[in-house]
Amino acid sequence: MRSARLAKAITKGSVFVRNNRTGQVILKFRTQGAKDRIFAPVPLHDQNNKDSYLNLSRLYSAEQLMASTLEDLILAQDLELGEL
């Protein structure tokens, strides 16, 4: 992993992310059985709302998250990694 923050979040089981762009962002998984996930843009009035983050650790295993495009999207600043 190139992102130490993401590695730490996966280890803790608290990967909170939200869309950081004005358009949709697609998270692709390289493991079978996990469907791609589409992140809609966060409305401007929710930018300061902690509830706008989605905890991916509750939906996917650590192996699935590591075998996805999550790190690439975070490093490209398409998804924002939250620290909640």
pLDDT recorded at residue 84: 67
- pLDDT per 10-residue tile (average), the chain, 84 residues: 90 95 94 92 87 94 95 95 84
pLDDT recorded at residue 1: 73
Is there a contact between 66 and 1 (Cβ–Cβ < 8 Å)?
yes
pLDDT recorded at residue 44: 84
pLDDT recorded at residue 79: 96
Range of the domain at 67: 4-82
62's tokens? 């650590």
Domain total of the chain: 1
Is there a contact between 53 and 17 (Cβ–Cβ < 8 Å)?
yes
Reported pTM: 0.89
